[in-house]
């Protein structure tokens, strides 16, 4: 599925897509590659600058994905879920593919999750301390900071 027709592509000099500008009244809202608003309504130049300063490097950072916890019948339970630390693998206007964080362990089984584009609140930048690994028995939860 392509991006909404009212989104205007913004590409850097080598033609790499960095995001979009969404017309909003007399201004524009900068949209990143995950389909999230980067700015409120600003002028064209400010929207361009916001997209260019955001770049694509943020995609290499750790994220958290909210997984729905299913009830006994297999249906998601209302208000339930847990966060899993992930890395972005692929971004397109069809989907955002992420992989459960395995810290580069080549022997680990790769676990992939697909999120719809644009991502909503289900995918967010990792909020924990990226330099602290979780305990082996608790590898799907957020790491705790030991002091």
Cα torsion for 31, 34, 57, 146, to the nearest 10°?
120
DSSP structure string for 62-103: -EEEEEPPB-TTSSBPTT--EEEEEEEEEE-SSEEEEEE--T
Tens of pLDDT along the chain (147 residues)? Answer: 678 899 999 999 999 999 999 999 999 999 999 999 999 999 999 999 999 999 999 999 999 999 987 544 444 445 568 899 999 999 999 999 999 999 989 999 999 999 999 998 889 999 876 556 665 555 455 555 554
């Amino acid at each position: 599925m392509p991006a909404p027709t009212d989104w205007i592509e913004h590409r850097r000099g080598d033609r790499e897509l960095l995001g979009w500008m969404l017309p909003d009244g007399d201004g524009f809202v900068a949209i990143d590659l995950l389909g999230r608003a980067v700015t409120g309504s600003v002028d064209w130049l400010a929207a361009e600058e916001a997209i260019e300063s955001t770049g694509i490097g943020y995609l290499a950072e750790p994220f958290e994905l909210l997984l729905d916890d299913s009830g006994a019948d297999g249906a998601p339970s209302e208000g339930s879920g847990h966060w899993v630390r992930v890395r972005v693998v692929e971004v397109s206007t069809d989907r955002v593919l992420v992989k459960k964080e395995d810290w580069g362990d080549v022997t680990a089984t790769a676990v992939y999750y697909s999120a719809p584009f644009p991502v909503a609140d289900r995918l967010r930048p990792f909020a924990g301390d990226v330099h602290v690994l979780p305990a082996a028995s608790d590898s799907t939860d957020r790491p705790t900071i030991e002091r």
